[in-house]
Amino acid sequence: MLKKLKSAERLFLLIKKQFPFNVSSVNKGKICNEMQRLINDDPESWLNTISIWKNLLELDAKKKRLSQRDANLLKRKMGENDTVITKKLKAEQMQKTQENREYQLEKQAEEETLAQGNFLTSREKLQLEECQNEAAEAAGTPSQNDLTFRVSCRCSGAVAKTFSAQEVGRIIGIALMKQFGWKADLRDPDVEIFIHLNDIYSVVGIPVFRAPLASRAYIRTAGLRSTVAWAMASVAEIKAGALVLDPMCGLGTILLEAAKEWPDAHYVGADVSDAQLRGARDNLKAAGLEDKIALLQVSVVELPLPSESVDVIISDIPFGKKFKLGKDIKSILREMERVLHAGGTVVLLLSEAHCRSLTDGEESSIPSNSEGRRTDEPGAEKCLIPEGETGTSETVPPSLEASNQECLPKIPPFGSLMPVECYKVSLGKTDAFIYKYKKSHSSGL
Amino acid sequence: MKLLTHNFLSSHVKGVGPRGFPLRLQASEVRIMPVEFNPDFVARMIPKLSLGEVPTEPIQGYEQNEDFLRTMHHILLEVEVMEGTLQCPESGRVFPITRGIPNMLLSDEQTEA
């Protein structure tokens, strides 16, 4: 049931979270000890977490327990939260299952988030309590001495200068073997232990599932990562009977996520590229969604659709690195505005460069033609949106400080398109913004 | 290309405007693909259709008329044009449909990624 979380990348059970190791004294031995204490100080929490993890997996396998009603309720609530949570997740989502049972989100301080986060807490608590109860009822706890494990370690910052990831892995591994008697198995362990050490925190946790939540069975080749695609679709307010358009659909990831979750709409994808459309068609076939999604080979600035005919537009605007953006973003928005119904929604994934282009144009009030397309400024570390990756890669959690300090770019209205919301998301190595517009009903052009 | 999709398309040739609808469809290869019947979905799509000379108000209670909905479902969703052409009624410009996908690019821009 947890697998239904569509905009979460990965889900971990938190064992320990504490302040970063103090590396100022370059005394390896000392730090070694500190690491061992992660395990030896509190073996209880390790064992607790392992048993919870086992229960979660058993529950998943049996598929009983949580009634459908509960699952749906949670799913719906998650749906509301996810859009906010998603970007906060960056690469991982930590879930503390200790006595405190707080649900921790690494996030910017927003009231909304807090409220939703808390709601989630109580929901998750309930769920986990049920897990625990069932464990108690079940015939004894399974033996925890015959677990095989593997330690996965990621170090950055000051710690990384003193220790390599392998060294840390070894230290922790040996300590675990000593403390619990588990055996190490690098090939196919029962449990994977994740350790992150950096300048901001030291965290230890266990992933709940082997495969990241972000990997989708129904998408063969992903373009945009599916978690962001799902989040965009959920922000778009797709109602039954809606006509939903992705005028730069590429491999169709956004449409696939949307059609899977909200099947009662008519989806149309468009792209100029033969290759992309071929890939999209394959994806549709593989997912069994050919009936829901129509494909067209058209240009986003010349859409063969009557004005005001589309209810929802969702699009990932090419960032200019992997795919060339043939037209400038303003012409694109204008055409989108034309075909959109009054009251309709546009959800776009924009790079920072796009945001700048949209913001500056308005302020200087120069006709858009002279704007041209922005190239990335020197010093900006923009990388390719990795193709084919659906979050399975080893993404480094971006520094939290940076995201907390930046303000979201304020994009002005575009013609009759009124900005509604903006979310910053991480695409792994780059950040992007999900922008939502609504077309106003005011008469005009 | 399904007929439901075709009903939403309109020619974007410059200067043609609303006279670009509907695109004249010529099919050389058609497939009938069974699609799960979803009466609610069909009922919702019907008001969105542009049916030309037919009176725009559907008959009262069409949402409950299952036969009607099934017929519409079959026509709109189960008929798939695999090969053929779409022609702009005003300018005469022809757009090909290949393997179910209409190519309506006006200029010669095809980016091979």
Q: Three-class SS of residue A199?
A: coil
- Sign of the C-alpha dihedral, residues A282, A287, A292, A298? negative
d(CA A34, CA A22): 9
Element (H, E) at A51: helix A43-62
Q: Is A297's CB within 8 Å of B11's CB?
A: no
Report H helices in B2-46. 3-8, 39-45
d(CA A259, CA A252): 10
Residue of B nearest to A272 (CA): B110
d(CA A263, CA A260): 6
Chain B residues whose C-beta sits inside 8 Å of any chain A C-beta = 1-2, 4-5, 8-12, 18, 20-21, 23, 33, 35-36, 38, 40-41, 44-45, 48, 77, 99-107, 109-113
Q: Is B12's CB within 8 Å of A277's CB?
A: no
Residue of A nearest to B108 (CA): A272
Tell me the pTM: 0.65
- Ordered domains of chain B (ranges, CATH): 3-54+61-104 (2.20.25.10)
Name A251's Cβ contacts closer than 8 Å, sequence gap at least 6.
A221, A222, A223, A276, A279, A280, A283
Q: Is A274's CB within 8 Å of B110's CB?
A: yes
Q: Is B101's CB within 8 Å of A295's CB?
A: yes
d(CA A31, CA A163): 9
Q: How far is CA A80 from CA A73, A231, A257, A300, in A?
A: 11, 10, 16, 30
Which of A273, A295, A322 lies nearest to residue B112, judging by beta carbons? A273
Give yes or no for a contact between A175 and A167, defined as CB atoms under 8 angstroms apart: no
How confident is the prediction along chain A (445 residues), in pLDDT tens digits per residue? 666 677 777 777 777 777 777 666 567 777 787 777 777 777 888 888 888 878 877 766 664 444 444 444 444 434 434 433 333 333 333 333 322 222 332 322 233 333 333 434 444 444 544 444 444 444 334 455 677 888 888 888 777 777 788 888 888 888 888 888 888 888 888 888 888 887 777 888 888 777 676 667 666 666 788 888 888 999 999 999 999 999 999 999 999 999 999 999 999 999 999 999 999 999 999 989 999 999 999 999 999 999 999 999 999 988 766 555 556 788 889 999 999 999 999 999 988 888 777 776 544 333 333 333 333 333 222 222 333 333 333 333 333 333 333 445 677 888 889 988 888 888 877 888 899 999 988 654 4
ipTM topping 0.85: yes
- Ordered domains of chain A (ranges, CATH): 1-73+146-213 (3.30.2130.30), 214-359+414-444 (3.40.50.150)
Interface test with B, best of A255, A268, A302 (most B CBs within 10 A): A302
Minimal C-alpha gap between B43 and chain A (Å): 8
Which of B35, B41, B104 lies nearest to residue A297, judging by beta carbons? B104
Which chain B residues are closer than 8 Å to A326 by Cβ? 109, 111
Q: Is A266's CB within 8 Å of B113's CB?
A: no
Q: Which of A395, A380, A389, A442 shows the shortest CA–CA distance to A416?
A: A442
Q: Three-class SS of residue A190?
A: coil
Which chain A residues are closer than 8 Å to B9 by Cβ? 296, 304-305
Two structure tokens written together for A272: 């100029």
Q: Is the peptide bond before A43 cis (omega within 30 degrees of 0)?
A: no
Which of A264, A294, A305 lies nearest to residue B2, judging by beta carbons? A294
